[in-house]
Structure 1
Amino acid sequence: MAVETMPKARVVLQQCLSAKLQIQPETDETPAKHVEINRGLVVYVCFLNDATEDILDKMVKNVLMTRLSEGGDRKLVSILDLPGDVLIIPQATLGGILKGKMMQYHKNIDKETGLKLYTNFVEMCEQSLTENSKNKGVDVCVKSGTYGNRQVFSCTTNGPYTHIIEF
């Protein structure tokens, strides 16, 4: 009998027509700051206890190569095949476990290690998407949220193609 192991990370993938994320709230001195993407993929990411750098390559490949977006012939294609933009949002709540009527987050990674993994994950996605888009002669982008902050998010989608992947 196989031993079931606990996941080290969770991602939620959602195709979108456009998305906008507030990365810094408005203050008396400055307006709110946002990042936006056009047609592409929203990636919510959460690192759990025991997550290390060794899972990042697999995560990036799965996120960018999973076929969730509708291509020109209505077949599902990956974000690399589309090609499209990517918005990566840190989402610690994906590590929550319901205990009674309350959510607990004891399985989430510590903030310092989580920030490092998140930053590296974003950089690896940017590198892969940039290389791919140059080869196809198109302009796409990777935008990301601010790790550890509450953020305001809005998304337009033509179908709730939302999927959870554990690593």
Structure 2
Amino acid sequence: MNELTGRLVIQQCLSASLKLPSVEPREPEVVEVGRGMVVFVCFLNQASEVTVERLVKHIIDIRLSENDSDRRVSVCDIQGDILIIPQATLGGKLKGKAMQYHNNVDKNLGEALYHKLCQGVRTSVEKVSSGNVKCGVYGARQILNMDTNGPFTHIIEV
């Protein structure tokens, strides 16, 4: 049996905003996207650049968005936006009454893989779509606001 190396939770959205942590003395930055999807990502033990490549392909190719004919198409097909948020808690496992995160990748490697994922999605989207790709900050608390036309949430594991 192959060991899981990455997990995505993809939520279709009408719009979303993510308030990033502030760097004193500036106000917190807010990144915003329109119609498209919010992608939560977690890298697990044994994650590598191969994991990143597979996750990028899933994000770009998965047919979860609806076009004007109510057909399921990729987010790129509707020129949609993508907001990618690092979410280490997706690697948690319940033990008794507490969550444990022993299956998560090392923080430094996780941050490097997250940046590669964001860049890979941006590069792929720019080739085929006018949609925007925005990313959160790895290892920091952030505030998410999202309007959905669902719930329409999917989990993808590689």
TM-score normalised over the length of structure 2: 0.96
* 2:149 alignment partner, one of 130, 153, 158: 158
**What's the Cα RMSD here?**
1.2
Task: Give 3-state SS (helix, strand or coil) of 2:77's partner.
Answer: coil
Contact 2:21 2:141 in 1 (8 A): no
1:5, distance to aligned residue in structure 2 (A): 2.5
* 1:132 alignment partner, one of 125, 128, 135: 128
Contact 2:76 2:131 in 1 (8 A): no
* Cα distance in 2 between the residues matched to 1:64 and 1:12: 14
* 1:47 alignment partner, one of 22, 43, 56: 43
User: Which residue in 1 is equivalent to 2:59?
Assistant: 63
Which AA in structure 1 matches 2:32?
A: E
Name stretches of at least 5 consecutive residues in structure 1 with no aligned partner.
Answer: 134-138
Instruction: Deviation per CA, 1:27-83: give whole Å up to 9, x if none.
Output: 5x3222110000011110000010011122221111111111111101111111112
Name stretches of at least 5 consecutive residues in structure 2 with no aligned partner.
Answer: none
Higher Rg of the two aligned structures: 1
Q: Percentage identity across aligned positions?
A: 47
1:12, distance to aligned residue in structure 2 (A): 0.5
Runs of 4+ in 1 over 4 A off after TM superposition: none
1:26, distance to aligned residue in structure 2 (A): 7.6
Which AA in structure 1 matches 2:82?
A: V
User: Which residue in 1 is equivalent to 2:133?
Assistant: 142
TM-score normalised over the length of structure 1: 0.91
Task: Give 3-state SS (helix, strand or coil) of 2:63's partner.
Answer: coil
User: Which residue in 2 is equivalent to 1:17?
Assistant: 14
* Cα distance in 2 between the residues matched to 1:68 and 1:160: 12
Instruction: Deviation per CA, 1:64-106: give whole Å up to 9, x if none.
Output: 1111111110111111111201000000000000000100000
May I ask how many residue pairs the two structures share in their alignment?
158
Task: Give 3-state SS (helix, strand or coil) of 1:93's partner.
Answer: helix
User: Which residue in 1 is equivalent to 2:111?
Assistant: 115
Which AA in structure 2 matches 1:21?
A: L
* Cα distance in 2 between the residues matched to 1:89 and 1:150: 10
